A and B are shown apart, each in its own frame.
Chain A
């Protein structure tokens, strides 16, 4: 080991405004999270392979038994898109809990970076992952017979709505990640939340098939609204006010969960 450990160059601090640096910090953290996603095989399987399994499972195994009024594959794919982004948000919680557990967040706190960038970077990398998932599921969907008739513009609108909805929701999962004592608990804490939200919803089956007491919940909960809106837009079907309601849910979620997660982050040590 060479022991001439003094730098030959003086450090130069770039002159940029605080806002530009905050954006740079968010991107630095997001990039780091995405590199981890690529390098941990289980993370990649969880976020990309698993939704493909769901597509195949429901398309070819359960699908024949579900009656929806439209071709089931067309009913299914928009639902799977919404379901995948919600399952993926579990990764937000696990990732933050791990960073906290390993002391990385503590190291970040001793750096002159924008403190908000830890949460900002995490949610942005999850957004990027959701874009990837959207593309993969769309391609896989087309391969198994998915034919959306709403047109390209509506498809893009549906995609943006879904990404926004997922982004806002991920702040709630960030809160769970910061509140959990470790990543295993973080994961366990999200399950009682995501299972009723995704399965007691119109993601896989029409809610009319459920018992009436369950329909009340299934019809009105935010994930069903998002699934209805995305499906309606993609297939060019009427979907009442579900687009507006999804937007309201999304904005409401970030207005409440954003500050909550931020507060939790300030206190978590």
Chain B
């Protein structure tokens, strides 16, 4: 068997008779036993990739194997070896927590005695025992996600696809989910995680690829990406756009990347936050320019994108999400 849980070669997926290229030649290899991060903004093709790997969609061209099985020719074997959970927490809200798990277990063609035992086990482990016999309609957002994840684990699959598992969750629920994912991986599960959050990818993923408009624009470990980016963003606000423009020349050399000027704000990615801030302040003071504001912050996905692509990560629903727009519209109303 292959050393990789997932191997994708030049996967292309188009929609609308080729007018939209959601995935434009993506190749990736996911090693076993770790979290692999697929990072990108809305519309970058993350969800499309997960849908192809979980056999929901067929690729337009290219090949992919999951746990050694071809996603097109051996779909049933793929489906027996994966679990899928995601941001929309597709639990049946008219069923109780227990009934949801039992249904998914049975549809996985597992023995009934095992399904019942495993369902109770998972409900206990995910802190849902008290809510086991309540319809999941009454669950909070965090509880739904945990139930959704539990459903993906009923069959104890060696590979889990988690499509933006913490999007829209409160900080505590997000922490809970992160702990669960870390423990799963310690137990030997491989996780392919898609996320819009650099923080999440940084915390969980050993290796990352960054997707933009259906293409991989960067890959490596989280540390490699951060080094490429700089560890901190220094944000300077000026009294006028004139001051900002005048200052951009003075600030060159502090960051390995050119300063990014936007209106009255200049942003620099730097390795040593406080030291770089001190240098910047000294130079501006010498030139007689006063600052309206100064801040140091962790780099965001936007900063990654700005550095790698030169454009901001576009928010909102871009072309590749067309196929799921139908579902998205309705689910938004619910959440």
Contacts and interface: CB of A to CB of B under 8 A. Distances in A.
Query: Chain A interface residue count: which class?
Result: 35 or more
Interface stretch (A73-81, A108-116, A200-208, A227-235): A108-116
Contact of A112 (B79, B90, B93, B334): B79
Interface stretch (B206-214, B245-253, B325-333): B325-333
B125 to A, nearest CB: 5
B329 to A, nearest CB: 8
A244 to B, nearest CB: 40
B327 A100 contact: yes
Nearest to B96: A35
By CB atoms of chain B within 10 A, which of A28, A32, A102, A111 has the most?
Answer: A111
Contact of A40 (B94, B118, B330): B94
A110 B94 contact: no
B125 A28 contact: no
By CB atoms of chain A within 10 A, which of B80, B94, B126 has the most?
Answer: B94
Contact of B111 (A4, A14, A21, A107): A14
Q: Interface on chain A toward B: helix, strand, loop, or mixed SS?
A: loop
B155 to A, nearest CB: 5
Nearest to A4: B125
Contact of B90 (A7, A13, A21, A106): A106
Interface in A107-154: 107-113, 117
Contacts of B256: none
Given A1-B127, A6-B187, A107-B90, A12 B110 contact: yes
Contacts of A40: 94
A24 B109 CA distance: 9
A1 B126 contact: yes
Interface string A176-190: 000001100000000
A10 B111 CA distance: 11
Interface string B99-134: 100011011111110100110011011110000000
B183 interface: yes
A102 B328 CA distance: 8
A102 B95 contact: no
Nearest to B122: A5
B124 A2 contact: yes
Contact of B80 (A2, A6, A108, A112): A112
B94 A36 contact: yes
**In the A-B complex, the 8 residue pairs with the closest CB atoms:** A36-B94, A1-B127, A101-B330, A103-B90, A113-B107, A112-B79, A110-B54, A12-B111
Given A28-B107, A111-B104, 17 more contacts: A3-B125, A3-B180, A3-B183, A6-B183, A7-B118, A7-B121, A7-B156, A12-B114, A13-B110, A14-B109, A21-B109, A35-B95, A101-B326, A103-B88, A106-B327, A109-B56, A111-B79
19 contacts: A1-B176, A2-B124, A3-B183, A6-B183, A6-B187, A9-B117, A9-B121, A11-B156, A13-B80, A13-B110, A14-B112, A25-B107, A36-B92, A36-B95, A101-B326, A102-B331, A103-B327, A110-B84, A182-B329
